[in-house]
């Protein structure tokens, strides 16, 4: 029995078959020689990554998953030499589970993870930014949570961006069987910089990882991140991102559900104004039976804001009894804002329930009048309707401080409206 269905499928974009865009070499980034780490195998991995970047170039809209996001003009004026980035941790973060990569190089899982790739990498051949990060692998943080431990306090990692820099931060996480942890990635900065991040998370059997992120970016900033989670049997990976601002932001999530009863939830709220561009590209790979996934993204756009959501559910042949959903809703506050949505189901198993839905709409004028007729001033009424629209996604966050930070950012954004 096949129950793949499509619901309310408005505003789905069609990609052109031929592209007017030219391939872009990565010459600026691959010209010099890499600084050596002194660890042979690591330098080899980096050289190989660099060689791939040389061969493949940088991603352009010629590529399937980059049709609506053009990185090249955005990074043109940012220096290409890699800088060190400032990584810091929240006061309550458990320092015992955090290390620098240099302290962890002997551990097999770390070595394996450095070269690990999601299973969609081969299909799309667009891992250039990931490779570029690996080539410059230096500022890497390792979080290793042992088995059967519950971290009461979230581990907060803050990465600062300085104007005029190109950085390649890396985060590698392993959460042992039966453990629970909340990891918060807080990204801040001012000015024109490009941060090209890779975050890899291993969720071992029966573990739970809540991965919350803020992506509050300067209007001149370029931010790209590949997040990869490999989720084992009976384990849960839950991620939420609050995206706000950024000249060019691309967050790509790859999840491999590799053990039965694995579950993942990928959520995001995007606040897009000015000439910001925020792209969320999610690929959920259901590789084994009985796994569940849920993608839920809500975006509010105004002025010339542009947002892209590409959500893919890939159900492998053996992955019977898959339960997978995705939903994207966008609220357009101006005629000049643009939302592009591309839901995609690739299903090879025959006993699955998958669905996707997408809507793009305006503020409900009837609700606005109703609120105003009760004395609520127009601006406040609009704000309330916008807050309630994104509130449904925000409600997945169950860390109070993080939620407060998000609410604060939402209010700030609304005030500037």
Residues in touch with other proteins (CB under 8 A): 364, 366-367, 369-378, 380-381, 384-385, 387-389, 391-392
**Least distance between other proteins and beta carbon 133 (Å):** 38
Please, which residue, 284 or 371, has the CB nearer to other proteins?
371
Please, which residue, 111 or 403, has the CB nearer to other proteins?
403
Residue-wise over 358-373: b if at least 16 C-beta within 10 A, else e?
Answer: bbbeebeeeebeebee
Query: Measured between alpha carbons, how far is 310 from 19 in angstroms, rounded to an integer?
Result: 18
Edge-to-edge strand ranges of the sheet holding 292-301 = 3-9, 353-361, 323-332, 292-301, 263-272, 236-244, 208-216, 180-189, 155-161, 86-89
Please, which residue, 152 or 380, has the CB nearer to other proteins?
380
Query: Measured between alpha carbons, how far is 229 from 213 in angstroms, rounded to an integer?
Result: 14
Q: Which of 227, 277, 241 is nearest to 72 (CA)?
A: 277
**Least distance between other proteins and beta carbon 5 (Å):** 23
Query: Measured between alpha carbons, how far is 53 from 30 in angstroms, rounded to an integer?
Result: 8
Please, which residue, 80 or 376, has the CB nearer to other proteins?
376
DSSP 150: B
Query: Phi-psi region for residue 50, left (φ > 0), alpha (ψ -120 to 50) or beta?
Result: alpha
**Least distance between other proteins and beta carbon 104 (Å):** 44
* 194, 224 Cβ separation under 8 angstroms: yes
**Least distance between other proteins and beta carbon 271 (Å):** 16
**Least distance between other proteins and beta carbon 331 (Å):** 12
**Least distance between other proteins and beta carbon 223 (Å):** 29
Cβ atoms within 10 Å of 417's Cβ, excluding its own: 14
Please, which residue, 318 or 392, has the CB nearer to other proteins?
392
Task: For the chain, give the number of residues.
Answer: 417
**Least distance between other proteins and beta carbon 95 (Å):** 39
Please, which residue, 4 or 414, has the CB nearer to other proteins?
414
Please, which residue, 376 or 414, has the CB nearer to other proteins?
376
């Amino acid at each position: 029995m096949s129950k793949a269905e499509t619901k309310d499928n408005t505003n789905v974009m069609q990609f052109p078959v031929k592209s007017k865009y030219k391939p872009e070499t990565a010459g600026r980034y691959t010209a010099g020689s890499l600084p050596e780490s002194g660890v042979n195998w690591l330098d080899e991995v980096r050289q190989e990554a660099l060689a791939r970047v040389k061969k493949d170039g940088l991603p352009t809209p010629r590529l399937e998953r980059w049709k609506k996001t053009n990185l090249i003009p955005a990074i043109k004026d940012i220096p290409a030499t890699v800088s060190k980035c400032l990584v810091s941790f929240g006061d309550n973060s458990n320092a015992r589970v955090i290390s620098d990569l240099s302290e962890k190089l002997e551990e097999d899982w770390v070595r394996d993870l450095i070269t690990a790739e999601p299973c969609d990498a081969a299909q799309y051949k667009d891992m250039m930014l990931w490779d570029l990060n690996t080539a410059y692998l230096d500022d890497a943080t390792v979080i290793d949570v042992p088995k059967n431990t519950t971290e009461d306090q979230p581990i907060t990692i803050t990465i600062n961006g300085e104007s005029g820099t190109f950085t390649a931060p890396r985060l590698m996480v392993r959460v042992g069987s039966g453990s629970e942890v909340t990891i918060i990635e807080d990204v801040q900065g001012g000015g024109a910089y490009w941060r090209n991040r890779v975050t890899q998370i291993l969720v071992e059997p029966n573990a739970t990882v809540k991965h919350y992120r803020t992506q509050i970016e300067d209007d001149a900033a370029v931010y790209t991140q590949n997040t990869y989670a490999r989720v084992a049997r009976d384990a849960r990976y839950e991620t939420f991102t609050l995206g706000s601002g950024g000249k060019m932001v691309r967050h790509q999530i790859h999840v491999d559900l590799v053990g039965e009863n694995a579950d993942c939830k990928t959520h995001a709220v995007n606040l897009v104004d000015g000439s910001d561009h925020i792209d969320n590209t999610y690929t959920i790979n259901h590789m084994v039976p009985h796994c569940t996934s849920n993608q839920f993204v809500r975006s509010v756009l105004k002025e010339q804001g542009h947002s892209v959501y590409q959500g893919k559910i890939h159900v492998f042949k053996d992955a019977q009894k898959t339960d997978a959903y995705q939903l994207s809703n966008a609220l357009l506050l101006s005629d000049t804002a643009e939302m592009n949505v591309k839901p995609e189901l690739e299903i090879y198993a025959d006993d699955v329930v998958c669905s996707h839905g997408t809507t793009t709409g305006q503020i409900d004028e009837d609700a606005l009048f109703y609120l105003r007729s009760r004395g609520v001033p127009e601006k406040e009424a609009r704000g309330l309707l916008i807050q309630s629209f994104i509130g449904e996604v925000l409600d997945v966050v169950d860390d109070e401080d993080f939620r407060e930070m998000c609410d604060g950012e939402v209010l700030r954004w609304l005030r500037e409206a």
